[in-house]
């Protein structure tokens, strides 16, 4: 679930919980709205956790100039909040 689906579930759950005043005999729409909001919040937290953990590393290898045998390796990483500067 991504950001869009999580926010959509939060919004639909809030609308069902706070805007509707309809009672169905066997279904409590307030509970359905709260469950949707909870699932949307959980999905949003999990999506944020997955995206903050993702790190990209670019490794480029090129031969050394003037016929050297050792390759030059460059590594670039994105910002990692868990690692100190």
What is the per-residue pLDDT across 54-84, written as a single tens digit (0 to 9) for each?
666 666 666 656 656 665 566 666 666 566 5
Does the predicted TM-score (pTM) go above 0.85?
A: no
Element (H, E) at 13: helix 3-14
Neighbours of 37 (CB within 10 A): 20
Which residue in 48, 56, 34 sits closest to 2, CA to CA? 48
Contact between 9 and 36 (Cβ < 8 Å): yes
């Amino acid at each position: 679930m991504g950001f869009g689906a999580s926010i959509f579930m939060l919004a639909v759950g809030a609308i069902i919980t706070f805007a509707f005043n309809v009672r169905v005999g066997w279904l409590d729409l307030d509970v359905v709205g709260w469950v949707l909001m909870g699932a949307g919040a959980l999905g949003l937290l999990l999506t944020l956790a997955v995206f903050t953990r993702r790190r990209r590393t670019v490794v480029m290898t090129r031969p050394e100039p003037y016929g050297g045998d050792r390759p030059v390796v460059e590594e670039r990483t994105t910002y990692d909040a868990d690692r100190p500067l």
